[in-house]
């Protein structure tokens, strides 16, 4: 591993961290003060469902989008919290990142 670090001119600690599966801070979400509640796969499915509804000329209302998101969270996390408690503040006002899909 040390020779590979020399060949690619990276610190040995960086190479060993990457091989151990640790992510580099710049590879994580840019805005770290916003808590991301949906994992990437859930987010992709969520957006696909919204776009599918829109393509069928049934554009979801804000309340519909919030209900879908909270349903995903309660289904995954379980527990006794209501859907509103799982979602917290409005997902549509706290969503960050590219909005090209919409």
Question: Is-contact 44 37, C-beta < 8 A?
Answer: no
Torsion, Cα of 72, 74, 77, 78 (10° steps): -140
What's residue 4's pLDDT? 87
What's the structural domain count of the chain?
A: 2
Residue 90 pLDDT > 70, yes or no?
Answer: no
CB-based contacts of 54: which residues, under 8 Å, 6+ apart? 60
Domain hosting 63: range is: 31-102
Together in a domain, 86 and 60: yes
In a shared domain, residues 79 and 92: yes
Pair (98, 85) in one structural domain:
yes
Same domain, 57 and 40: yes
pLDDT digits (tens, 9 = 90+) for 36-80: 677 888 888 888 988 998 899 888 888 888 888 888 888 876 655
């Amino acid at each position: 591993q040390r020779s590979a670090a020399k060949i690619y001119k990276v610190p040995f600690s960086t190479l060993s961290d990457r091989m151990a599966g640790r992510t580099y801070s710049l590879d994580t979400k840019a805005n770290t003060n916003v808590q991301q509640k949906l994992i990437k796969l859930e987010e992709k499915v969520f957006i696909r469902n919204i776009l599918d509804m829109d393509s069928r000329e049934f554009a979801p209302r804000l309340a519909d989008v919030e209900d879908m998101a909270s349903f995903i969270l309660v289904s995954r996390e379980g527990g006794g919290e209501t859907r509103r408690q799982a979602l917290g503040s409005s997902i549509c006002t706290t969503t960050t990142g590219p909005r090209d899909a919409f």
